[in-house]
Amino acid sequence: MKKIIAASFFVLSSLLVFGQARKYSNEFLAIGVGARSLGLSNSVVATTNDVTSGYWNPAGLTQIKSNMQISAMHAEYFAGIANYDYGGLAYNIDSSSAFAINAIRFGVDDIANTTQLIDNEGNVNYDNIFSFSAADYGILLSYARKLKVEGLSVGASAKIVHRKVGDLAKSWGFGIDAGAQYTYKGWNFGLMARDITTTFNAWSFDLDENTIEVFTLTGNEIPDNSVELTLPKIILGAGRTFKIKESFTLMTEVNFDLTTDGKRNVVIKGDPISIDPHLGLELGFKNLVFLRGGVGNIQTEKSTLTGRDITTFQPNIGLGLKIRNFYLDYAFTDIGDRSVGLYSHIFSLKLDIYKKG
């Protein structure tokens, strides 16, 4: 039953495409990668400095100290129904430039397709039940370079998007992200422009006559080949790391997400631009152990008790451990539906690799 519910979520979000810009398009690419960043409520565009920068802000790739860095993450959502997997590799080309590839998959597997359970004569035939997967894939190819202006780095990511719902529907898409980071007197500033070219997904559908008949009898819309558009989003960030005595540091960063797809339920609501702020804090001990927290997803909702408007927010927490060239990060985060408390445990690994000699 759970997988049927999950399948409905994927099919409805993937098949009902109208060849226009949608407010929530390619949302799997908005979840985030790396437990450290998730523990900070995604407030990292100004200070990101590792392989995950290919996702958060490609300019941060120039801050990697090792010759090569690899990372991986696995998470489960909806009580283990949906799997979210990430892997990344970054390579320092020289002292001024770096390259990275990051890959993401978000999917539900082994979904039972019962559209052919009852044949044309009204007989129930369980042999007609088969399973399929509904999955979204994203690959980001990133390049970053330090400019001649001291403290300034820029970068860009070309992303390829593939979404598939069994044999029923699939799409291919392409887009570009660009970012910059600037360090000035201990302060870090970041700018990330997602989907600056307006990312598109070209959908195609392959529905046989039986499936079309089932769609018609059940009142579902029969989808047509079309193009789904993802409008640009700008993220601005500022952060700084403070030294506390000899052993402790405190990193703070605030980000502002500027969406361009119409009014959203965020702190500053506008049409077409809305602004969503979020904040992250990281307390470090001797660059070995890290305690993290963040606040985001600030919204106005109706109280079920009084009917009045109340302000809600999403807290996140996380831990980090660094052992020589190895990093282990953990985050405890809500996927956004606080009404049922769907919190997830997120773990990610990272490894620095240095050339010998």
DSSP secondary structure string, 144-197?
EEE-SSTTEEEEEEEEEEEEEETTTEEEEEEEEEEEEEEEETTEEEEEEEETTT
What's the mean pLDDT in 123-142? 80
What's the mean pLDDT in 298-320? 84
Beta-carbon contacts of 210 under 8 Å, excluding residues fewer than 6 positions away, are 115, 116, 120
Beta-carbon contacts of 107 under 8 Å, excluding residues fewer than 6 positions away, are 82, 83, 133, 134, 135, 136
Checking if the pLDDT of 353 tops 60, the result is yes
pLDDT of the residue at 113: 66
Checking if the pLDDT of 209 tops 80, the result is no
- DSSP state at residue 350: E
The two three-digit tokens of residue 224, written as one number: 């047509």
Count structural domains, the chain. 1
pLDDT tens string 331-352: 998 764 444 456 788 999 999 9
Pick the closest to residue 56 from 74, 76, 71 (CA basis). Answer: 71
What's the mean pLDDT in 9-16? 43
pLDDT of the residue at 175: 94
CA 332-76-178 angle, to 5 degrees, is: 80
**What is the b/e burial string over 336-346, where b = at least 16 CB atoms within 10 angstroms of the residue's CB?**
eebeeeeebeb
Checking if the pLDDT of 320 tops 80, the result is yes
Q: Find residue 102's DSSP bridge partners.
A: 88, 140
Q: How far, in Å, CA of 157 to CA of 199, rounded? A: 12
Which CATH number goes with the domain that contains 195?
A: 2.40.160
pLDDT of the residue at 12: 42
Q: How far, in Å, CA of 340 to CA of 280, rounded? A: 24
pLDDT of the residue at 5: 40
Classify burial at 224, counting beta carbons within 10 Å of its beta carbon; exposed 0-12, middle 13-18, buried 19 or more: exposed
DSSP string, 75-115: EEETTTTEEEEEEEEEEE-SSSEEEEEEEEEEEEEEEEE-T
Q: What are phi and psi of 260, to 5 degrees?
A: -120, 20
Q: How far, in Å, CA of 151 to CA of 138, rounded? A: 30
Checking if the pLDDT of 49 tops 90, the result is yes
pLDDT tens string 19-39: 455 556 788 898 899 999 999
What's the mean pLDDT in 203-230? 71
Checking if the pLDDT of 84 tops 60, the result is yes
pLDDT of the residue at 130: 65
pLDDT tens string 89-119: 999 999 999 999 999 999 887 776 666 666 6
Confidence of residue 15 (pLDDT cuts 50, 70, 90): very low
pLDDT of the residue at 19: 46
Pick the closest to residue 39 from 310, 275, 256, 317 (CA basis). Answer: 317
Which residues span the domain enclosing 196?
A: 2-353
More confident residue, 157 or 81: 157
Kindly report the average pLDDT of the chain as a whole number. 85
